Every structure is written in C-alpha cells, then in structure tokens.
Structure 1
Amino acid sequence: MKPQSIHQFIVEDISGGKFDFSELKGKKLMVVNTASECGLTPQYEQLEELYNEFKDDNFIIVGFPANNFGAQEPGENKEIAAFCTRNYGVTFPMMGKISVKGDDIHSLYRFLTQKSNNGFADSEVEWNFQKYLLDEDGRLAKIIPPATLPIDESVIQWIKS
C-alpha cells in the first residue's frame, strides 16, 4: 500500500479559516503540537527563530494547539492566538485546537502516528511540542521528541539536506 501524504488534509486554522496542506507541495514541513502552559512552551521562541531563518527556503512550521497533556492548553483559539503573538511573536501558521491522541484523535494526527497511513513509523505523541518532519512530497521523514529543541542541529541539517 502506498503511503498517504499530508497534502490530502484540509484543516481549520486558528482564526476559523481553511488551511489546505496541498498548497505546501514542494516544501519541507514541521508539524508540532503546542500548549501555552507547559514547561516546554518557551520552545515557541525557537520555533519562530527556525521559521524565520528557513521560511524562504521552502520550509514551513504548522502548529496545532492541543489539550491532551495535563490540561496545559485550556484556552480557546482566540486566546491561544493572542498568547502566541503577545508572548512569542509567532508568525508561522497556527491551526485550531485539536486532539493529538486518544479516542478523539484528529485524522491528521492519525496519519502522523500510524505507519499504515504514513508509511514511515508508528508513534505516539509523548507530550506537547513533539515534532513531525515531512518532506517536499508530504511524506513523514523524521519524528523529533518533545524535549529536543526545534533549533537542534539534527533538525537544521534535515532542513538543509
């Protein structure tokens, strides 16, 4: 069975608009689940740094707020958007709040975590700020643990490769 691509998904962005992943064909992509009240929340700063450094080199970051771990993302989309802008100057695309695990897992995260869909690996989202790296064809290429900073050399080397 041929692995699926993230380019098949259309999701809701944090403002309620449509975000079509098919428009990202030809770009490398980092998908990250985020939370505003987590010990790892300062990673927003490095995510923004990484995005600004490589956004003109066919690289994009897409953030998905999720409340799956310790209720660390209790806010509504409007509050989350304001928090990200006010505290970290986030300019990379942020999506509407979703579930990244459990019975109500969003279909995009089902794709990211199931080898039968992504053709790469089975995984479980361990915590907030787990990063999924996808190649220009929308295929899963690498899974980065939550505690690994977005600006880790392994991530930068992958973007540049």
Structure 2
Amino acid sequence: MTMYDYEVQTIKGEMTILKQFENKVLLIVNTASNCGFTPQYKELQQLYEEFKNRGFFVLGFPCNQFNEQEPGGNSEIERFCEMNYGISFPMFSKIDVKGKNAHPLFIHLATNARGVLGSKAIKWNFTKFLVDSKGQVVKRYSPSTKPNQIKQDIEKQLIGVL
C-alpha cells in the first residue's frame, strides 16, 4: 500500500482517498485545539499560504488521545480553526494516531519516520511528518519543532515539483 491508497474522512464527513495529493509535498500533522502547541496553527497556515501554489499542502488530523485536548466534534473543531487561525488547508475528521485503533495512515507515517531512539510511537499533539512528492515519508518532527523551522526542508522537497 502506498501513501496515496489511504482512505480518510474530511472534517465535513466525506470519505476521500489521499491519491488527490499525489505529486504534492505534504506536511501531515496531528492537531488539537486545547494544547500548548495549538498556536502552531498560525505558522502551519502561513506555510500553506506561502507554498500552496508550488504544490504543497498541510493536512491536519485532529486527535483527542493526548490529555483529551481535542474534545469537540468535527464541526466545532472546524469552526475553532477557521475563527481563531483562518485555517484554509485541508482538515480531516478526528482520528486516533496511536494504539489499537490508530488510523492506518498514521501507522504508515510512524513506521516510516521513527522518532527519538527509533520509536514508532507518536507521543503528543502536533507531531509533524514531511512527505515528498512521490509519497515517501521524508522526516518526522517533534511537537516542539515550530512549523517555520521546517521551511527549508519543505523548500528542498518542492524543487522540481509542478
């Protein structure tokens, strides 16, 4: 299975396949509205706006597995993101990113870009995964890595895209 075969549900509840992002550079992030890292939404939106015309997308996947910091439903999450951060990048339905109910996409990401000491575990909200235009997971970034610190890596991946 490739990155593009995974089926996900949009925040509006529609099923879609990631194939629509084939040949694009992606930053996939597990998000939460009530986390100390929530202000990263602002920089994620800035990155998206800066690079979207070059074939770059941020994909946000809300998750409530870390201290229940994303308790709301999809419409509440969507409203929060739009009102507080002007989010226009694709957001998806709330999912699990770890454990027995982890979404297969996040199992794939965690397996292909391991964390500290080779760990597959996603340990907190706002863990970020950079995916190249061929669907290969390039790198994992910790929750404390600010989105703007990833800018250079994104630019490298965008060379030759489009």
Q: Same fold (TM over 0.5)?
A: yes
Match of 2:55 in 1: 58
Match of 2:160 in 1: none
Q: Does 1:32 align with 2:29?
A: yes
Moved over 3 A (4+): none
Which of these residues, 28, 38, 43, is aligned with residue 41 of structure 1?
Answer: 38
Q: Deviations over 1:97-148 (max 9, x none)?
A: 000011111111111112xxx3x54522121000000111111000011011
Which structure 1 residue ranges, 5 or more long, are not aligned? Answer: none
Q: Does 1:10 align with 2:7?
A: yes
Q: Distance in 2 between matches of 1:106 and 1:74?
A: 18
Q: Distance in 1 between matches of 2:147 and 2:94?
A: 21
Which structure 2 residue ranges, 5 or more long, are not aligned? Answer: 157-162
Match of 2:159 in 1: none
Match of 2:152 in 1: 157
CA-based RMSD: 1.1
Match of 2:108 in 1: 111
Which of these residues, 95, 98, 101, is aligned with residue 95 of structure 2?
Answer: 98
Match of 2:67 in 1: 70
- Checking the alignment, whether the CA contact within 8 Å between 1:5 and 1:137 is kept in structure 2 is no
TM-score normalised according to structure 1 size: 0.90
TM-score normalised according to structure 2 size: 0.90
